[in-house]
């Protein structure tokens, strides 16, 4: 029995585990891959935080609320932007090395970049475009120094629900043998669900495992319709698609159509630095009008590209492109799940002693569309808050943040007292089922959707779900395919229910926002999603 079980080894999970170990808790980190291999390492842009004048938490708050298209929880965002700077400095104290330069007085200062949706430069980066890898390295090193127990290659199948509280998980070890892993408190920090789609920037391990675990147990999830598509993934057969960071446009790069026209100037006042949902939608609609498979990113004006963006440079060189001479073919790709397992302001879920943080969670900080480079900050801030809450004896969610109004719903939990029924060992190939799910999600539930395409997706996913019993037993690939199916069905159900266009959810048949839908669709895996209006809409003063 551990004090704390952490599922996942990205920035959120490692931050949570490290803070818990520092408080003297016995901690176990369970990860289905290697400890140092998570989606965090792919984060290129950096960490957004108001670290120096003329920036301020209030400006960061305003930019986040605008990007979130009315669905951010204001209190959650205020926590993010106020506590964020201290967490970034804490990360630097752990040994994370961020890029610096000398000011006019010869004093070393952090280099700050500007990305889409930000009103000024506030993004801290490392190694040019290797921020995620550097943060993961620093956290993994710190975790080793803290002597935290880690089990790599273990896959969580079910939450253990006993007496209406989470008591740990049922998991399989690398050989496929099932085990009960018990803990006083359990944290879901398993990352996102980009692998629900055929074209994604997410690594192969991003299969929505934490959200699927929650849905199976009847734990409330929300905002699943808001899958953010990154507008500038390199258009190339490799998968995951190489990401061309928003910071490239922050350095002056311009999106162009086949005629060379810089089309974003007509789409938004921030042009190429508009929020991601705006840029992805504009690119998709242009491609649909013209029949093009991609648009172009012109970065030929970016100074010292090779050293400023070494990861992107290497990705381009590997496919025979030179960013200093060639326009780069780009198209949107599934990138970040803005919703997830619902939490209060401390990370508590609707199941006692179950917590969530990072991309797995829906805390309200991202709303309908995440602001660029707020993701790493989210994991740093709310991972620490989970541990603070546990340390002061909290076990249940409170009606704060996105939980306002949700705890009053009748949400029946699913008790799991016996090992999950493993699929029969038959002939269906998990990889083929996975590919089929990804194909239908990209075709019918992509950047632009409508009732007909969503109905087609729902029917196809239901048909594919019947193949589950024929999957080989006790293989991680089997359970990843099952998780993708469950999460994809929930995404489609939420997208069907939200009959408006807002943030990263665009309906061709409902192109406008609806004030009547200013709220969240809550899914529990047992029925159609239920709508919960926002208690108090959060908008920056300029937008009110």
Cβ-Cβ contacts under 8 Å for 4 (sequence gap 6 or more): 16, 17, 20, 25, 26, 27, 28, 183, 184, 185, 186, 187, 387, 390
Asked whether 14 and 36 are in contact (CB, 8 A), the reply is no
Active site residues: 276
Asked whether 382 and 12 are in contact (CB, 8 A), the reply is yes
| Host H or E run for residue 225 | none
What phi, psi does 333 have (nearest 5°)? Answer: -145, 145
Write the DSSP symbol of residue 472: P
Q: Minimal CA–CA distance to 348: which of 308, 315, 312, 392?
A: 392
In angstroms, rounded to a whole number, what is the distance separating the alpha carbons of residues 386 and 363?
A: 12
Q: Bridge-partner residues for 124, per DSSP?
A: 47, 112
Asked whether 494 and 211 are in contact (CB, 8 A), the reply is no
What phi, psi does 239 have (nearest 5°)? Answer: -140, 130
| Host H or E run for residue 77 | helix 74-94
Cβ-Cβ contacts under 8 Å for 5 (sequence gap 6 or more): 27, 28, 30, 168, 169, 181, 182, 183, 185, 186, 187
Asked whether 10 and 202 are in contact (CB, 8 A), the reply is no
Q: Minimal CA–CA distance to 329: which of 272, 261, 244, 391?
A: 244
CA angle 400, 405, 406 (to 5 degrees): 90
In angstroms, rounded to a whole number, what is the distance separating the alpha carbons of residues 95 and 7?
A: 24
CA 471 to chain centre: 28
Ranges of H-type helices in 251-371: 276-290, 305-308, 310-318
Q: Tell me the residue length of the chain.
A: 544
């Amino acid at each position: 029995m551990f004090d704390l079980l952490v599922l996942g080894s990205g920035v959120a999970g490692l931050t949570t585990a490290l803070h818990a170990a520092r408080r003297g808790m016995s901690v176990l980190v369970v990860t289905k891959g290697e400890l140092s291999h998570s989606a965090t390492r792919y984060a290129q842009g950096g960490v957004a935080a108001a670290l120096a004048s003329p920036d301020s938490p209030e400006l960061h708050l305003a930019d986040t609320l605008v990007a979130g298209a009315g669905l951010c929880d204001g209190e959650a965002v205020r926590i993010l932007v106020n506590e964020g700077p201290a967490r970034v400095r804490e990360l630097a104290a752990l040994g994370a090395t961020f890029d610096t330069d000398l000011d006019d007085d010869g004093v070393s200062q952090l280099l700050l970049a500007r990305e889409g949706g930000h009103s000024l430069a506030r993004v801290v980066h490392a190694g040019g475009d290797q921020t995620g890898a550097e943060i993961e390295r620093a956290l993994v090193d710190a975790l080793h120094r803290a002597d935290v127990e880690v089990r790599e290659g273990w896959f969580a199948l079910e939450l253990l629900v006993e007496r209406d509280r989470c008591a740990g998980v049922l998991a399989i070890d690398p050989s496929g043998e099932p085990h009960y892993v018990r803990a006083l408190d359990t944290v879901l920090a398993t990352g996102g669900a980009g692998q629900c789609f055929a074209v994604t920037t997410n690594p192969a391990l991003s299969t929505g495992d934490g959200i699927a675990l929650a849905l199976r147990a009847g734990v409330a999830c929300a905002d699943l319709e808001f899958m953010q598509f990154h507008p500038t993934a390199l258009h190339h057969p490799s998968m995951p698609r190489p990401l061309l960071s928003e910071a490239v446009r922050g350095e002056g790069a311009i999106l162009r159509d086949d005629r060379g026209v810089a089309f974003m100037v007509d789409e938004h006042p921030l042009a190429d630095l508009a929020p991601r949902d705006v840029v992805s939608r504009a690119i998709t609609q242009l491609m649909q009008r013209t029949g093009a498979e991609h648009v172009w990113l012109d970065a030929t004006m970016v100074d010292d590209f090779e050293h400023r963006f070494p990861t992107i440079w290497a990705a381009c060189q590997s496919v025979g492109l030179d960013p200093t001479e060639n326009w780069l073919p780009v198209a949107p790709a599934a990138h970040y799940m803005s919703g997830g397992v619902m939490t209060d302001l401390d990370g508590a879920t609707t199941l006692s002693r179950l917590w969530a943080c990072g991309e797995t969670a829906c805390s309200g900080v991202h709303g309908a569309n995440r602001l660029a480079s707020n993701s790493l900050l989210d994991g740093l801030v709310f991972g620490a808050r989970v541990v603070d809450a546990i340390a002061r004896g909290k076990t249940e969610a409170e009606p704060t943040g996105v939980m306002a109004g949700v705890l009053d719903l009748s949400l029946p939990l699913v008790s799991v007292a016996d090992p999950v029924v493993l699929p029969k060992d038959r002939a269906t190939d998990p990889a083929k089922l996975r590919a089929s799910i990804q194909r239908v999600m990209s075709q019918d539930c992509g950047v632009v959707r409508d009732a007909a395409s969503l109905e087609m997706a729902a029917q196809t996913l239901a048909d594919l779900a019947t193949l589950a019993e024929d999957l080989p037993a006790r293989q991680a690939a089997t359970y990843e395919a099952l998780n993708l199916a469950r999460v994809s069905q929930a995404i489609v159900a939420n997208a069907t229910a939200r009959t408006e266009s807002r943030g990263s959810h665009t309906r061709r048949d409902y192109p406008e926002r609806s004030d009547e839908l200013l709220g969240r669709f809550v899914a529990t895996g047992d029925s159609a999603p239920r709508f919960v209006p926002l208690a108090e809409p959060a908008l920056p003063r300029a937008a009110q």
